[in-house]
């Protein structure tokens, strides 16, 4: 959600932004509706003021006849008011619907393009491993080492189901422990949180996943949703708050299961654990003061944190700047970090790092008092810290050896209790 005043004053910017994001949005229509809204607002307010004046008189007048006449006159005003309010209600409905569709403006540094093929490479790290034996994919590797049972997974959970077992489970636990320790030791300014996945509708509206993303969300018979990321609960933790400037920035490292219907991706990545309906994620969230430079600074920090984790795991990755067409409604700029998958001979997304300015916080009503004591909407940002089981793919494939065994990344060995995963 953007400020209607800003929208009115920057019609061209919004239009250019929508175009860059390849989203259809008619700003003129919104402004037209807003004109109506303003006119009706003025009208009804004037009528209310009139009514209040009559009221004051009625209290004072003791003469019954006079009083009766005043009440009659007042009724006329009331009728007009009722009509105006009726119209206003209709206009407000349209207005709110349109307001939820206004896209946030992408940053200057966001490249043009239709889809992820136009994303621009930002940095590359690590050497792509060269194998002197036929490369196996994660499914073959993990099944042979009894780390995963996909058949049981689908039998129990349906399409895209999986079960991690033995060293697969241990490797996953090891990654969690590693991430926890990384933040506990090196990023003490991040508060650890365990947040709900089962969430109310407002949390998803507030974070911008609704109304557009309805199809990709699971819903319960009681009307709650299953969130696709811990970002939803973590952001909502701050909703309705008025913080002091001295309390900013608020940094959180949150953990939760995440659920995605993957509607529209039915034919994509159907095998293995790359694209699953249920996964676990450590998510970084930052709430900061409303200042573009501050947002940018924290955006880089979130990206850097994720890169540090991948570098510690010694996984080759690159960072891309997502192009306009690959940005969500609320995002100003997004980096995707993609980590090398040898069997596919390409990088695949493992992290997504975005900032929103006040797009989310306006919807969630997260404010702070600035130096002048004025309440302002904060800015918000988030990035994956690590998502499992997807990252297991990159680990087992990059660390595979000729005999089908898998070396354990050095930083995980103490949690795994072994240096190599071999067949029993």
Partner RNA sequence: GGAUGGGUGUCGGAGUGGUCUAACGAAACAGUCUUGAAAACUGUCGCCCGGGAAACUGGGCCGUGAGUUCGAAUCUCACCCCAUCCGCCA
What are the residue numbers of the active site? 260, 275, 349, 352, 390
* Structure tokens that stand for 107 in this block: 């940053």
Indicate whether 52 belongs to the interface with RNA (CB under 7 A).
yes
Question: Distance between CA 31 and CA 15 in Å, rounded?
Answer: 12
Question: Distance between CA 184 and CA 295 in Å, rounded?
Answer: 23
Query: Whole-number minimum distance, CB 186 to RNA, in Å?
Result: 31
Touching RNA, residues 133-152 (CB under 7 A): none
Query: Whole-number minimum distance, CB 42 to RNA, in Å?
Result: 5
Question: Distance between CA 310 and CA 265 in Å, rounded?
Answer: 27
Part of the chain binding RNA (CB under 7 A), chosen from 74-82, 257-265, 298-306, 390-398: 74-82
Three-state secondary structure along 108-153? CCCCCCCCHHHCEEEEEECCCCCCCCCCCCHHHHHHHCCCECHHHH
**In this complex, which beta carbon is closest to RNA, that of residue 334 or of residue 362?**
362
Indicate whether 93 belongs to the interface with RNA (CB under 7 A).
no
**In this complex, which beta carbon is closest to RNA, that of residue 50 or of residue 116?**
50
**In this complex, which beta carbon is closest to RNA, that of residue 34 or of residue 301?**
34
Query: Whole-number minimum distance, CB 387 to RNA, in Å?
Result: 27
Looking at residue 216, the DSSP 8-state letter turns out to be G
Provide the terminal-to-terminal Cα distance of the chain, rounded to the nearest Å. 55
**In this complex, which beta carbon is closest to RNA, that of residue 59 or of residue 65?**
59
Touching RNA, residues 227-266 (CB under 7 A): 242
Indicate whether 35 belongs to the interface with RNA (CB under 7 A).
no
Indicate whether 128 belongs to the interface with RNA (CB under 7 A).
no
Q: 3-state DSSP helix/strand/coil percent for the chain, to nearest 5? A: 45, 20, 35
User: Site for RNA (CB under 7 A): which residue of 71, 76, 128, 419?
Assistant: 71
User: Site for RNA (CB under 7 A): which residue of 16, 23, 31, 58?
Assistant: 58
Question: Distance between CA 354 and CA 303 in Å, rounded?
Answer: 9
User: Site for RNA (CB under 7 A): which residue of 9, 55, 152, 292?
Assistant: 55
Touching RNA, residues 173-212 (CB under 7 A): 200
- Please list, in sequence order, all residues whose beta carbon lies within 8 angstroms of the beta carbon of residue 213, skipping any fewer than 6 positions away: 204, 228
Question: Distance between CA 219 and CA 167 in Å, rounded?
Answer: 33
**In this complex, which beta carbon is closest to RNA, that of residue 83 or of residue 348?**
83
Query: Whole-number minimum distance, CB 69 to RNA, in Å?
Result: 11
Indicate whether 59 belongs to the interface with RNA (CB under 7 A).
yes
Part of the chain binding RNA (CB under 7 A), chosen from 3-11, 96-104, 321-329, 397-405: 3-11
8 Å CB contact between 336 and 320: yes
Indicate whether 11 belongs to the interface with RNA (CB under 7 A).
no
Question: Distance between CA 17 and CA 203 in Å, rounded?
Answer: 25
User: Site for RNA (CB under 7 A): which residue of 11, 13, 29, 49?
Assistant: 49
Indicate whether 54 belongs to the interface with RNA (CB under 7 A).
yes
Query: Whole-number minimum distance, CB 242 to RNA, in Å?
Result: 4
Question: Distance between CA 229 and CA 254 in Å, rounded?
Answer: 10
For 12, 16, 280, 355, 376, the CA distances from 105, given in Å and listed in that order, are 11, 8, 31, 11, 19
The label of the residue with tokens 């099944």 reads 143
Touching RNA, residues 370-399 (CB under 7 A): 373-375
Query: Whole-number minimum distance, CB 378 to RNA, in Å?
Result: 13
- Please list, in sequence order, all residues whose beta carbon lies within 8 angstroms of the beta carbon of residue 183, skipping any fewer than 6 positions away: 190, 192, 253, 385
Q: Which residues pair with 243 in a beta bridge?
A: 368
Query: Whole-number minimum distance, CB 37 to RNA, in Å?
Result: 8
Q: How many residues bind RNA (CB under 7 A)?
A: 27
For 41, 60, 161, 255, 327, the CA distances from 64, given in Å and listed in that order, are 34, 11, 79, 70, 67
Q: How many CB atoms lie within 10 A of CB 123?
A: 13
Indicate whether 69 belongs to the interface with RNA (CB under 7 A).
no
**In this complex, which beta carbon is closest to RNA, that of residue 27 or of residue 315?**
27
**In this complex, which beta carbon is closest to RNA, that of residue 81 or of residue 175?**
81
Which residues sit at the interface with RNA, rule CB under 7 A? 3-5, 38, 41-42, 45-46, 48-49, 51-52, 54-55, 58-59, 71, 74-75, 78, 89, 200, 242, 369, 373-375
């Amino acid at each position: 959600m953007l400020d209607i005043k800003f929208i009115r004053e920057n019609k061209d910017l919004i239009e250019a932004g929508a175009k860059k994001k390849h989203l259809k949005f008619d700003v003129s229509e919104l402004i037209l509706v807003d004109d109506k809204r303003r006119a009706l607002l003025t009208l009804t307010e004037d009528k209310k003021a009139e009514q209040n004046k009559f009221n004051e008189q009625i209290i004072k007048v003791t003469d019954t006849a006079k009083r009766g006449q005043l009440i009659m006159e007042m009724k006329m005003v009331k009728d007009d008011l009722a009509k105006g309010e009726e119209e206003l209600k209709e206009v407000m409905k349209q207005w709110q619907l349109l307001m939820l569709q206004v896209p946030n403006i992408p940053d200057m540094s966001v490249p043009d393009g239709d889809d992820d093929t136009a994303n621009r490479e930002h940095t590359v790290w690590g050497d792509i491993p060269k194998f002197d034996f036929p490369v196996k994919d994660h499914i073959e590797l993990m099944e042979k080492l009894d780390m995963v049972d996909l058949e049981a997974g689908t039998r129990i959970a349906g399409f895209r189901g999986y079960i991690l077992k033995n060293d697969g489970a241990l490797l996953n636990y090891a990654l969690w422990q590693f991430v926890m320790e990384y933040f506990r030791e090196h990023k003490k300014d991040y508060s650890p949180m365990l947040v709900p996945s089962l969430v109310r509708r407002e949390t998803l509206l507030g974070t911008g996943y609704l109304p557009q993303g309805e199809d990709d969300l699971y819903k319960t018979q009681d009307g709650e949703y299953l969130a696709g990321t811990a970002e939803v609960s973590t952001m909502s933790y701050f909703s309705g708050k008025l913080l002091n400037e001295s309390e900013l920035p608020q940094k959180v490292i949150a953990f939760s299961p995440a659920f995605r219907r993957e509607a529209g991706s039915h034919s994509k990545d159907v095998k293995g654990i790359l694209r699953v309906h249920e996964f676990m994620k450590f998510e970084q969230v930052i709430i900061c003061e409303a200042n573009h430079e501050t947002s940018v600074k924290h955006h880089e920090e979130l990206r850097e944190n994720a890169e540090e984790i991948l570098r510690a795991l010694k996984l080759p990755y690159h960072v891309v700047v997502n192009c306009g067409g690959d940005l969500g409604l609320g995002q100003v700029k997004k980096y995707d970090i993609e980590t090398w998958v040898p069997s596919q001979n390409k990088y695949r997304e493992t992290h997504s790092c975005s900032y929103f300015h006040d797009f989310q916080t306006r919807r969630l009503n997260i404010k702070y008092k600035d130096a002048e004591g004025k309440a302002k909407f904060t800015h918000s940002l988030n990035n994956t810290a690590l998502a499992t089981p997807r990252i297991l793919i990159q680990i087992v494939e990059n660390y595979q050896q000729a005999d089908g065994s898998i070396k354990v990344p050095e930083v995980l060995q103490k949690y795994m209790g072994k240096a190599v995963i071999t067949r029993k």
